[in-house]
């Protein structure tokens, strides 16, 4: 089912922060802050990821001219075991907290759940955030970066980034028009380096359930399918009979790093779609360059243990439609 929000919950402020590698990317101008060093001056990469979320949240609160006491709920998550960077950020922010985990689809899980809480009258202001840190996440899922493990060209690059947004019952800015929560699909991909291919069917399933006419959108933006996954995704949509000739199809994982060869197929990580949404996409909408976009954040719901136990990779995608009324 697709949720349509009657009261138009507004994104009154948004902020993206990133690491030193993201600072060199094509979207750098849409970030509010970058760590000079990967550790952000913290004693561990996990603590650095906590800082990413705290800093993005504080930037968003400042832009919204709100104190944390004025925010009713904090909806956030990340990829680290038991989401400790998010938990410690929630401790710092001291806002009633509901932790969300849908891997890299967590960003839009936060947007749609927050919009539902505002539309239902349970919150006036919601802070939502999702973050990832390249060294913390790579260490946990693959190898410590210092190890220099080789990767295949289909692999992706975990973003060191956080996107945070303030959703509100009143104010100006792009609003959350509707959302379609995703179902977990699994087409049997077992290669943890090939998450784009694994996630493509889930993205297609959610988009097909949400979109009536793709031509009505300035663009349809997937979370982090990367080059490999996006090709499969677009083919699946076309095979379903969807005419995409008039719709620009973008992917946050491609947008964040452009043609940078080091990232192989593109960016990934819970912070990827969050930071691109709260930076680049938010700017395009607030300036009325885009007035209607669909963001389908994609998540690969695996763990290092599930891979060792020879499980395939279940995936999910949540679609959130943002609109901006003509100024």
- CB of 159 or CB of 185, closer to its own copies: 185
Q: What are the distances in angstroms from CA 214 to CA 1, 223, 242?
A: 18, 17, 8
Residue in 83, 137, 204, 320 binding its own copies, rule: CB under 8 A: 83
Contacts of 4 (CB under 8 A, 6+ apart): 177, 178
Q: Give residues 236-275 in contact with its own copies (rule: CB under 8 A).
A: none
- CB of 27 or CB of 197, closer to its own copies: 197
Residue in 16, 49, 113, 160 binding its own copies, rule: CB under 8 A: 113
Check binding of 87 to its own copies (CB under 8 A): yes
> What are the structure tokens assigned to 232, written together?
């499969």
Using CB atoms within 10 A of its CB, is residue 94 exposed (0-12), middle (13-18) or buried (19+)? exposed
Q: Give residues 21-50 in contact with its own copies (rule: CB under 8 A).
A: 43-44, 46-47
C-beta atoms surrounding 249 within 10 Å: 18
Check binding of 109 to its own copies (CB under 8 A): yes
> What are the structure tokens assigned to 34, written together?
């970058």
Q: What are the distances in angstroms from CA 189 to CA 27, 30, 150, 204, 311?
A: 31, 34, 20, 16, 9
Provide, rounded to whole angstroms, the least separation between the CB of residue 287 and its own copies.
Answer: 31
Check binding of 181 to its own copies (CB under 8 A): yes
Check binding of 91 to its own copies (CB under 8 A): yes
Helix (H) or strand (E) holding 168: strand 161-168
Buried/exposed 51-85: b ≥16 CB within 10 Å, e otherwise: bbbbbbbbbbbebbebeeeebbbbbbbbbbeebeb
Check binding of 321 to its own copies (CB under 8 A): no
Residue in 21, 101, 217, 290 binding its own copies, rule: CB under 8 A: 101
Would you give the DSSP letter of residue 104? Answer: B
- CB of 305 or CB of 327, closer to its own copies: 305
Residue in 20, 28, 37, 94 binding its own copies, rule: CB under 8 A: 94
Would you give the DSSP letter of residue 263? Answer: G
Provide, rounded to whole angstroms, the least separation between the CB of residue 281 and its own copies.
Answer: 22
Segment near its own copies (CB under 8 A); pick from 11-19, 80-88, 126-134, 227-235: 80-88
> What are the structure tokens assigned to 11, written together?
């994104």
Residue in 167, 203, 302, 324 binding its own copies, rule: CB under 8 A: 302
User: How many chain residues bind its own copies (CB under 8 A)?
Assistant: 56
For binding to its own copies (CB under 8 A), which residues are involved?
A: 1, 3, 43-44, 46-47, 72-73, 77, 79-84, 87-88, 90-91, 94-103, 109, 113, 116-117, 119-123, 180-186, 301-306, 309, 311, 314, 316, 318
């Amino acid at each position: 089912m697709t949720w349509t929000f009657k009261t138009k919950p507004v994104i009154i402020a948004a902020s993206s922060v990133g690491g030193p590698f993201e600072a060199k990317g094509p979207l750098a101008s849409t970030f509010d802050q970058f760590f000079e060093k990967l550790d952000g001056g913290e004693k561990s990469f996990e603590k650095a990821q906590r800082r990413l979320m705290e800093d993005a949240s504080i930037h968003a609160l400042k832009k919204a001219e709100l104190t944390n006491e004025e925010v009713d709920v904090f909806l956030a998550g990340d990829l680290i075991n038991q989401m400790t960077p998010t938990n410690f950020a929630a401790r710092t922010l001291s806002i009633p907290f509901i932790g969300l985990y849908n891997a890299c689809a967590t960003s839009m899980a936060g947007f749609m759940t927050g919009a539902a809480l505002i539309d239902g009258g349970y919150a006036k202001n919601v802070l939502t955030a999702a973050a990832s840190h390249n060294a913390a996440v790579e260490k946990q899922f693959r190898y410590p970066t210092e190890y220099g493990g080789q990767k295949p060209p289909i692999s992706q690059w975990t973003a060191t980034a956080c996107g945070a947004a303030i959703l509100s019952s009143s104010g100006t800015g792009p609003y959350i028009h509707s959302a379609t929560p995703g179902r977990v699909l699994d087409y049997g991909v077992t290669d943890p380096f090939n998450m784009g291919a694994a996630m493509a069917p889930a993205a297609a399933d959610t988009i097909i359930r949400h979109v009536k006419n793709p031509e009505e959108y300035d663009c349809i933006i997937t979370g982090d399918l990367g080059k490999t996954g996006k090709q499969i995704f677009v083919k699946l949509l076309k095979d379903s009979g969807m005419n995409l000739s008039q719709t620009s199809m973008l992917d946050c994982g491609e947008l964040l790093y452009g043609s940078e060869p080091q990232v192989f197929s593109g960016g990934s990580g819970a912070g990827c779609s969050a930071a691109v949404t709260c930076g680049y996409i938010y700017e395009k909408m607030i300036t009325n360059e885009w007035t209607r976009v669909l963001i389908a954040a994609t998540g690969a719901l695996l763990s290092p243990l599930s891979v060792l136990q020879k499980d395939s990779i279940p995936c999910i995608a949540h679609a959130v439609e943002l609109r901006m009324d003509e100024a």
